């Protein structure tokens, strides 16, 4: 029951799905509970990924046999997942792009990242990230509906595992007094990381059974390399991470998975 409380708290924190009234009172809240809920971050990807895959499939079926069906379905599913999460991770991506793009100085970059206004680097990052998602999902959907839906379902899970590795290996350097992510950033244990990994097992097994081995291998490789690159970037520029860095990592790793999966699917069909 305690694990269920932690999961529902993560659902409340990372999505728009309402956890209110008596349910919210039963779940409760404390910084320790929020910290423990981080182990269920990939589990939130189950719901977001399922919503994305479902909306993609519904749009694709409604618009088929138009050759533009995969493209339109990609746009609609990206809108659905962004609405479900409230653009939480996209906001982190924009803040990181503004901060690290706007100044080479660590302290100035951190100050820029706290600013709620959107700058040129942040706007550019959001546009390019959205275009990358839409185009890659359209490529996958042009191969088959199953390829796009499976990639959506797994990418949202795996891309939520890698930010926890940053929490485990880097120091939190955000505003500790005001940061909402501070409880999530403290004392992520090996046990919690293992629990997060368990959330990935079933989607990985399902994907492996439905898609070519190369698609899974290249998708995971692309996502892992993206996470490693982000970790090295944050360590070099910030000597640690902020909550925005975690959101940015999720976005970049999600896109990298789509890229690897698309390459793997197309190579297997050649």
Listed in sequence order, the residues at least 6 apart from 97 whose beta carbon sits closer than 8 Å to its beta carbon are 121, 122, 124, 125, 126, 248
Domain assignment of residue 128, yes or no: yes
Provide mean pLDDT across the span 192-214. 93
Provide mean pLDDT across the span 167-188. 71
Q: Which helix (H) or strand (E) holds 132?
A: helix 120-143
Domain assignment of residue 15, yes or no: no
Domain assignment of residue 32, yes or no: no
Residue 130: is its pLDDT beyond 80?
Answer: yes
Q: Which of the four pLDDT bands, split at 50, 70 and 90, describes residue 34? A: confident
Domain assignment of residue 11, yes or no: no
pLDDT computed for residue 205 by the predictor: 95
Domain assignment of residue 187, yes or no: yes
Provide mean pLDDT across the span 158-164. 96
Q: Which of the four pLDDT bands, split at 50, 70 and 90, describes residue 113? A: very high
pLDDT computed for residue 2 by the predictor: 83
pLDDT computed for residue 165 by the predictor: 94
The total number of structural domains in the chain stands at 1
pLDDT computed for residue 136 by the predictor: 98
Listed in sequence order, the residues at least 6 apart from 166 whose beta carbon sits closer than 8 Å to its beta carbon are 227, 230, 231, 234, 241, 245, 246, 249
Domain extent at residue 238: 46-269
Please write down the HEC assignment for all residues of 145-196: HHHHHHHHHHHHHHCCCHHHHHHHHCCECCCCCCCCCHHHHCCCCHHHHHHH
How far from 115 is each of 52, 182, 267, CA to CA, in Å? 30, 18, 44
Domain assignment of residue 103, yes or no: yes
pLDDT in tens, 88-103: 999 999 999 999 999 8
Domain assignment of residue 33, yes or no: no
Listed in sequence order, the residues at least 6 apart from 51 whose beta carbon sits closer than 8 Å to its beta carbon are 80, 81, 84
Domain assignment of residue 85, yes or no: yes
Residue 182: is its pLDDT beyond 70?
Answer: no
* pTM of the entire predicted model: 0.94
Provide mean pLDDT across the span 236-246. 94
């Amino acid at each position: 029951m305690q694990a269920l409380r932690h999961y529902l708290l993560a659902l409340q924190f990372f999505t728009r799905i309402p956890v209110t009234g008596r349910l919210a009172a039963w779940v409760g809240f404390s910084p320790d509970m929020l910290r423990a809920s981080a182990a269920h971050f990939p589990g939130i990807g189950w719901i977001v990924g399922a919503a994305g895959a479902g909306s993609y499939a519904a749009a694709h079926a409604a618009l088929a046999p138009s050759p533009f069906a995969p493209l339109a379905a990609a746009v609609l599913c990206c809108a659905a997942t962004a609405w479900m999460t409230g653009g939480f991770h996209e906001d982190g991506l924009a803040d990181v792009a503004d901060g690290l793009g706007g100044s080479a100085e660590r302290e100035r970059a951190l100050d820029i990242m706290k600013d709620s206004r959107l700058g040129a680097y942040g706007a550019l990052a959001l546009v390019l990230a959205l275009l990358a998602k839409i185009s890659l999902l359209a490529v996958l959907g042009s191969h088959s509906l199953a390829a796009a839906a499976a990639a959506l379902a797994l990418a949202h899970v795996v891309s939520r595992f890698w930010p926890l590795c940053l929490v485990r290996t880097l120091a939190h350097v955000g505003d500790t007094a005001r940061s909402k992510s501070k409880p999530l950033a403290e004392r992520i244990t090996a046990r919690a990381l293992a629990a997060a990994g368990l959330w990935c097992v079933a989607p990985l097994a399902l994907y492996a059974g439905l898609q070519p081995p190369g698609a899974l291998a290249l998708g995971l490789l692309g996502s892992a390399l993206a996470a490693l690159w982000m970790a090295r970037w944050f360590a070099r520029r910030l000597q640690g991470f902020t909550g925005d860095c975690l959101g940015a990592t999720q976005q970049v790793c999600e896109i990298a998975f789509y890229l690897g999966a698309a390459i793997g699917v197309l190579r297997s069909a050649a």
